[in-house]
Amino acid sequence: MAGGFEKPRDVVGGLVVVGIGGLFLLFGRELETGSSFRMGPGYFPAILSWLMVALGAVMAGLAWRAPHQDGAFGEVPWRALVLVAGATLFFGLTLRGLGLLPVLLVVVFATAWASRYASLKASTALALGIALFCSGLFIKALGLPLPLTGPWLSSAYWSPAPTPDAAPAPAAPAP
């Protein structure tokens, strides 16, 4: 790397894609791949992993061919990094408790605000549109067992459990 490279972000991005594809290959090696005519559970993930590795290598290779430009990395977009990573964690941790619709509203709105070009009106419209579309697609059309709104949004979840002292008296036996 004596002369550097033209687009260091693309080189790093390509190497990250290669690494992720390699990790998927590594962790998916226990799955049986089968053949094209009798595909096993690991066939499709293996194909996608190899495509990721190939595309990442091409992306890094194409960016590696010209002299380095000073300041090509720029500043780290901390707001975008925190919003996207936080939205991903929020989705994984709250999907079952809040439900798909509210979680998608928050996640799409947060990731839209990761862009410096985001406006309140456009981000709200995008969040509503994607949340409604995905809820209809995944829950209604595909029938995935996801709650539209989760138990955390019900008053029964937050009300105190009845104490044994306040339990109703047992019913009298029928004659």
CA–CA distance, 169 with 13 (Å, rounded to integer): 67
Tell me the per-residue pLDDT of 38-47, one tens digit each, with 9 for 90 and over.
Answer: 888 888 888 9
Residues 6+ apart with CB under 8 A from 125: none
Picking from 60, 67, 65, the residue whose alpha carbon sits closest to that of residue 3 is 67
Residues 6+ apart with CB under 8 A from 128: 105
State pTM to two decimals: 0.56
170 has pLDDT over 70:
no
Tell me the per-residue pLDDT of 64-110, one tens digit each, with 9 for 90 and over.
Answer: 775 555 555 567 788 888 999 999 999 999 999 999 999 999 999 99
